[in-house]
Amino acid sequence: MLNGKVIVVTGGSGGIGSAICKELAKLGGCIAIHYKSDYKSANDLKNYIKENYGYADIFKADIKDRKQVDQMMETIYNSFGRIDYLVNNAGIAQIKPFMDITVDDWDAMIDTNLKGLFNCTQSALKYMLSKKSGVIVNISSIWGIRGASCEVHYSAAKGGIISFTKALAKELGPSNIRINCIAPGVVDTDMNKYLSSDVKEDLVSKTSLGRLGTPIEIAKAVSFLLSDEASFITGQVLTIDGGFI
Domain ranges of the chain: 6-240
pLDDT tens, residue by residue, 171-215 = 999 999 999 999 999 998 776 666 777 878 888 889 999 999 999
127 is catalytic: no
pLDDT of 126 higher than 90? yes
Mean of all residue pLDDT scores within the chain: 95
pLDDT tens, residue by residue, 67-96 = 999 999 999 999 999 999 999 999 999 999
The residue among 43 and 2 whose pLDDT is bigger is 43
Percent of the chain's residues with pLDDT above 70: 98
pLDDT of 225 higher than 80? yes
Of residues 133, 141, 244, the one with CA closest to residue 192: 141
Percent of the chain's residues with pLDDT above 90: 90
3-state secondary structure of 5: coil
In whole angstroms, what is the distance from residue 139 CA to residue 155 CA? 13
Q: What is the pLDDT of residue 194?
A: 64
Q: Of residues 39, 55, 154, 194, which has the active-site annotation?
A: 154
Q: What is the pLDDT of residue 189?
A: 78
The pTM for the full model equals: 0.95
Q: What's the per-residue H, E or C state across 21-79? A: HHHHHHCCCEEEEEECCCHHHHHHHHHHHHHHCCCEEEEECCCCCHHHHHHHHHHHHHH
Superfamily of segment(s) 6-240: NAD(P)-binding Rossmann-like Domain (3.40.50.720)
DSSP string, 132-146: T-EEEEEE--THHHH
Q: What is the pLDDT of residue 129?
A: 97
Output the CA torsion sign for 199, 203, 209, 214.
negative
